[in-house]
Amino acid sequence: MSAQGAIGWITLARPDKKNALDRKTADELAQALFALSESTVNVVAITAEGSDFCTGADLGALEKMLDAPRQDHLDDAKALGHVFHTIRRMEKPVVALVRGRAYGGGAGLATACDIVLAHEEARFAYPEVTVGFVP
């Protein structure tokens, strides 16, 4: 997270994981959004390192949770929901700057923002519907 003049920047910085979302990333994202909502910036921009904006949930992190208690799964889901809710409650506009793939939770993150500016080759998808999950 950084601020440059009137713009607050949040950069998803897990390019080796295609900026996939895990619990730590969701918590850090919510904290950064809150901090920028309290700052003097006029707009918040969410961008990403690497070739993709965000490919959704970190499947490796989800696999590690297979045997976790039910409450851990609920808390994990609520963490990402908290990010989306924080964006929607912000008084400052939040802009997603999307290039590459925005899949699953990444598409959700982009569409939770007030404005999405997408590169002409950006791709949006909710692949989880093909296996019966609700986006």
Q: How high is the pLDDT of residue 81?
A: 93
pTM of the model as a whole: 0.92
Phi and psi at 7, nearest 5°, equal: -110, 130
pLDDT tens per residue, range 22-61? 999 999 999 999 999 999 999 999 999 999 999 999 988 8
pLDDT tens per residue, range 62-73? 888 889 999 988
Q: How high is the pLDDT of residue 118?
A: 98
Cα–Cα dist 109/102, whole Å: 8
The residues near 45 (Cβ < 8 Å, ≥ 6 apart) are: 7, 8, 9, 10, 94, 95, 97
Residue 111, pLDDT > 80, answer yes
Question: Residue 13 in 3-state DSSP?
Answer: coil
State the DSSP code for 67. T
Residue 83, pLDDT > 80, answer yes
Single-letter amino acid code for the residue at 92: K
121 catalytic per annotation:
no
Question: Residue 91 in 3-state DSSP?
Answer: coil
